Structures are given as structure tokens and as C-alpha cells.
Amino acid sequence: MGRSDGAVGDVAVGDDSRGHWSGRTVLITGAAGLLGGWVARELLESGASVLGLDVAWDSPRATTPPAGVERIDGDVRDTPLLRDLLRRRAIDTVIHLAAQTLVGPAIEDPVDTFSNNIEGSWSVLEACRNAGNAGSGDGKGGVRRIVVASSDKAYGDASGRPYREEMALRPHHPYDTSKAVTDLLAQTYGYTYGLPVAITRCGNLYGGGDLNWSRIIPGTIRSVVEREAPVIRSDGSFVRDYLYVRDAAAGVVALADAVGEQPEIAGTAFNFAAGVRLPVIEVVRRILTLMGSELEPVILGLPLKEIPEQRVSAARARRVLGWRPRSTVESGLLETIEWYRSYLTKAA
């Protein structure tokens, strides 16, 4: 499959707030991933210079970044590389998204996920600490804004109650635990060292550029394009709070802006979700309807070790950041379907 056909920049963005990132150099880790590509696009359009670090730029799962991203091959656990980049390239902002993000592989090989996600996070945070904090008056210059991606999965099973940021993190499964530890590490660097770091806890992301076909939305769309019945591994009842990736990217950038201006946000987490809570079977049915397909999903009913129901309150992000999702589930899914149709046609 031709990666060069998969640039997230293939879809037009109709955003308006532009230019105020001019003169800032941003390092995005995990830039070859779903969210990284869209955050890069958002920042470039706002005038930033963007360096994209990823360990798997050449993987078939990597999306082509928008033009203008400087690609850096490397592992976030390589602390000397990070220190060198922060110092030599005068990085102003770090957006740490790199992680092993798939729940199934995390259960099969927890140590790989813990190493990528936990060691990777302390490596990034420690490099930022050593680069100094421009706001601390230590005269070392350094990183002014840091955003670290945690996840709504860090909360664990809250028996269907909406997650709020003040709730305790009680994860039970390996990926979820890796994100909770990432979250706590970022809080620690914020509180103890005064690092200007804030944390995102997003609901389930979807959108063009996600080439992880085991995820339900890309997998379903590809099945329909290929006229094959989509497969649901669970019994279809798991409820997730979905968020269109462009809305998530806007949230990440708004949070980076805020943590640079408001020191009191350091060490604080923000939920991001659209309040679109759907069982997996309903997501699949909506995609089938939007794509005009009469295929019937195959429901495997496997006993998956996953949280049964996730609901996310994004009230804090609305109140503090003025963030709101711009997309409805229908508009987000339609743009996503359009992206995959174009990508799969070109790749065929």
C-alpha cells in the first residue's frame, strides 16, 4: 500500500485562528500516527515550525505528514537524542504523543507497551526538565509548553459514570495502566519541577490517516470499500465516547497555548470528548448506512479484556480552554469515509 497516498493533508481544514504560533518550534513525538499528523497540520497552519519524531516513519501504518514537517527518525527512549534536539533546535513546545496504542498487542506483550509508553514518557519529561524551563527564571531558556497524551482509558472502569478529571485513575489492563502511569509522571513533573506540562485524556479518536486497521472505524470502512462484511471482535456492546481527530488536534493545540500562559495549569489533566457515546455495533451500523451498504457485520463475541463502558465529561476543557468539538458524529464519519475512499482508491 502506498504510504505517499495517505497524507492527512489530503482533506481540507476550514479553521480560522492562524498565525500566532509563528516563530515557535514544536517537537511532536509520534508524529507518524493518527493524532500526530493532524496536530502537525494544525500547528503548521498556525505558523509553527514542526519537527516530527517517530520510530516507525517507514512502517505501513505510518501516515505521510503534511508538507512542512521535518521528519526525524528516532525513539523517544533515546534521551541523548531528545536532549540534543531540544538544545540544538531551540524547541519551544513539546507535544508527546508517541506510544504503543493498541489494546490487543498490549495484552500480548505488556512489557513492550510499558517500555514504549512509560519509559518513553519519563525520557521525554526528563529531557524537558534538563533543557530548563523558560518560565522558571533559571536562565537556561528551554521548553515553554509541554502536552503529554494520556487517555480516557487511564480512568479504568467507572461503571459507566462519566469520567471527570478529579476522579482517581484505576486502570486494570496493560495499555490502560501504561497511560495512567504516563499521566502520573506528567503530573509529577508539573507539580514537583514546575515543568509547564498539561495532560490530555481523549475519548476514542477517529479520522482520516489512521492506518491501524484493527481499530473498528478504519477496519469497518475498509471492509465496506472491499465489499466484505465488517468484523466486530467483541459482542458489539462496548460503549465508547468518540471524538473526531481534528477536534482532538484543536484541543491539543489549545492546551499547549494555555499551559504556556497559565502556570497554574501545570500538572493538570483535561478530558476531550464529543459526548458521542455509542456501542460498537451502532458505530458499525452508522458507517454502513452512511456508505449505503447492506452488508451485515459479523459479531465474533470474543471475551475481550476491555472496559465495558466509557463516558467522558469535557466540561473542564470547555470552561478553561473554551474548547468545543466542531464536528457531529455524522460530519466526522462522512469526512473520515471520504478520506479512506480516496486513500484506498489511490493505493489499489
Ligand X SMILES: NC(=O)c1ccc[n+]([C@@H]2O[C@H](COP(=O)([O-])OP(=O)(O)OC[C@H]3O[C@@H](n4cnc5c(N)ncnc54)[C@H](O)[C@@H]3O)[C@@H](O)[C@H]2O)c1
Separation between Cα atoms, residue 273 and residue 71, nearest integer Å:
29
Annotated active-site residue in 155, 163, 175, 340: 175
Site string for ligand X, 218-257 (x = CB under 6 A): ----------------------------------------
Among 46, 93, 100, 113, binds ligand X (CB under 6 A): 100
Supply the minimum distance, in Å, between the C-beta of residue 50 and ligand X.
Answer: 15
CB under 8 Å to 326, separation ≥6 — which residues?
Answer: 246, 247, 250
Supply the minimum distance, in Å, between the C-beta of residue 64 and ligand X.
Answer: 12
> Site for ligand X (CB under 6 A): how many residues?
28
Nearest CB to ligand X, comparing residues 54 and 247: 54
- Check binding of 120 to ligand X (CB under 6 A): yes
Among 101, 113, 327, 336, binds ligand X (CB under 6 A): 101
Q: What is the 3-state secondary structure (H, E, C) of the chain?
A: CCHHHCCHHHCCCCCCCCCCCCCCEEEEECCCCHHHHHHHHHHHHCCCEEEEEECCCCCCCCCCCCCCEEEEECCCCCHHHHHHHHHHCCCCEEEECCCCCCHHHHHHCHHHHHHHHHHHHHHHHHHHHHHCCHHHCCCCCCCCEEEEECCHHHHECCCCCEECCCCCCECCCHHHHHHHHHHHHHHHHHHHHCCCEEEEEECEEECCCCCCCCCHHHHHHHHHHCCCCCEECCCCCCEEEEEEHHHHHHHHHHHHHHHHHCHHHCCCEEEECCCEEEEHHHHHHHHHHHCCCCCCCEECCCCCCCCCECEECCHHHHHHHCCCCCCCHHHHHHHHHHHHHHHHHHHC
Among 76, 216, 269, 333, binds ligand X (CB under 6 A): 76
- Check binding of 55 to ligand X (CB under 6 A): yes
Residue 175: active-site member: yes
Among 24, 77, 246, 277, binds ligand X (CB under 6 A): 77
Among 116, 220, 310, 336, binds ligand X (CB under 6 A): 116
Separation between Cα atoms, residue 53 and residue 28, nearest integer Å:
6
Nearest CB to ligand X, comparing residues 132 and 199: 199
Nearest CB to ligand X, comparing residues 17 and 212: 212
- Check binding of 204 to ligand X (CB under 6 A): yes
Separation between Cα atoms, residue 297 and residue 134, nearest integer Å:
53
Supply the minimum distance, in Å, between the C-beta of residue 119 and ligand X.
Answer: 8
Q: Where in 143-202 is the site for ligand X (CB under 6 A)?
A: 149, 151, 179, 202
Nearest CB to ligand X, comparing residues 135 and 156: 156
Nearest CB to ligand X, comparing residues 62 and 180: 62
Q: Where in 24-43 is the site for ligand X (CB under 6 A)?
A: 29-30, 32-36
Supply the minimum distance, in Å, between the C-beta of residue 227 and ligand X.
Answer: 26
Nearest CB to ligand X, comparing residues 34 and 287: 34
Residues of this chain that interact with ligand X (CB under 6 A) are 29-30, 32-36, 54-56, 62, 75-77, 97-101, 116, 120, 149, 151, 179, 202, 204-205, 212
Active site residues: 175
